[in-house]
Amino acid sequence: MKVYNIKNYGEPNTVLRLKEAEQPKPKNTEVLVKVCATTINDYDWCLTTGKPFAYRLLFGLFSPKKKLKIPGMEVAGIVEQIGSNATKFKAGDAVYGDISEFGFGSFAEFLCIDEKALTRKPDSMSFEEATSIPHAAMLALQGLRDMGQIKDRQKILINGGGGGVGSFGIQIAKLYNADVTGVDTGKKLEAMKTQGFDHVIDYKKEDFTKSDQQYDLILDCKTNRSLWKFLKVLVPEGKYVSIGGRSGNLLQMVYMGPILKLFSKKRVHMVMLKANKDLDYINQLYEDNKLNCVIDGPYTFDKIPWAIQRFGDGLHHGKIVISVS
């Protein structure tokens, strides 16, 4: 089978190599999945480039750990074989999921993963749509509903609204009749208007943290500013929720969040993702035509290094999807 292998950190086009590998065999509660589609995520960019440097504490200081040599954390495909103790699926089942809790490896024609990392794909959903959902949709849902406790008709800002999380976040926010502002730049702004954002801000031309406009809830997909700048544009009891970003700013949240409670009713939260937690709910929204998948692509398997660079350059709108087979 063909896989993308990475030995050292560097530019995607330089360090990612397409090679032949032996097809794996499922163990115990694992299933062998024929990969039909996968996606590009922030983890893939960080794992390939070794940036930000703090991620190397997780991935390996000088090169990725052996178990991370094949990147890719979202998959949609068909179960080919089941392990000796696997009971959730049978051969021929169409499945999908965020596999990051159990490992990586979806930049391959086949992978073995614990059956708990997967759920059945609805018949009405394509493999390309399915693979775009689990990571981004769960971050958006857990950020807005679980952490942000979104309420009807609130004013919401999504920083990084043109990416995968933003594309699901706007749709979830509109279920609550929210007035939603999206922050991004370039060609994505017009696409965001079409998708339903009430207002868009080009961060290259305007700093929303210096505006007089205030928001009930901010979903931050970038965490690229000081926490205090975000607090200035929250209403007195507003909530700020980060899904990840620059490590220094995230640490500021960890340490300053408890202190903030001593003198303010504003609250800050960071999503600790529970992988695949509410996929049944998202599937139902999809089948009720209340949610659609915004796909950048799909691109062919040989385009993976190029697609990772596209992600790193911030040129994508929605989820970058790769058709594998």
Q: Which two tokens stand for residue 280?
A: 């049944």
246: how many CB neighbours lie within 10 A of its CB?
A: 15
Q: Is 322 helix (H, G, I), strand (E, B) or coil?
A: strand
How far is CA 23 from each of CA 3, 44, 73, 91, rounded to the nearest angstrom?
Answer: 10, 22, 18, 16
In Å, how far from its chain's centre is CA 120?
A: 19
Spans of the chain below 70 pLDDT? 245-255, 257
What would the pLDDT profile of 5-39 be if each residue is shown by its tens digit? 998 999 999 999 999 999 999 999 999 999 999 99
pLDDT at 249: 58
Strand-strand pairing, 16-20 and 2-6:
antiparallel
Are the CB atoms for 245 and 185 separated by under 8 Å? no
Strand-strand pairing, 74-82 and 94-98:
antiparallel
What would the pLDDT profile of 247-281 be if each residue is shown by its tens digit? 555 666 666 767 777 778 889 998 999 999 999 99
In Å, how far from its chain's centre is CA 302?
A: 22
In Å, how far from its chain's centre is CA 134?
A: 8
Q: Which residues of 102-126 are buried (b: 16+ CB within 10 A; e: fewer)?
A: bbbbbbbbbbbbbbbbbbbbeeebb
In whole angstroms, give the CA distance from residue 65 to residue 7.
Answer: 9
In whole angstroms, give the CA distance from residue 52 to residue 19.
Answer: 27
Q: What is the CA radius of gyration of the chain?
A: 20
In whole angstroms, give the CA distance from residue 322 to residue 187.
Answer: 21
Q: Which two tokens stand for residue 145?
A: 């509903």
In whole angstroms, give the CA distance from residue 2 to residue 291.
Answer: 33
Q: Which two tokens stand for residue 20?
A: 């032949």
Residues in the chain: 325
* Residue whose tokens read 């694992």: 30
Are the CB atoms for 17 and 302 separated by under 8 Å? no
* Residue whose tokens read 């999503």: 271
Q: Which domains does the chain have, with CATH numbers?
A: 2-133+294-323 (3.90.180.10), 136-270 (3.40.50.720)
Give backbone dihedrals phi and psi of 132, rounded to 5 degrees, phi first: -80, -10
- Which residue type, as a one-letter code, is found at position 310? R
Torsion of CA 81, 87, 88, 94, to 10 degrees: 20
203: how many CB neighbours lie within 10 A of its CB?
A: 16
Are the CB atoms for 31 and 84 separated by under 8 Å? no
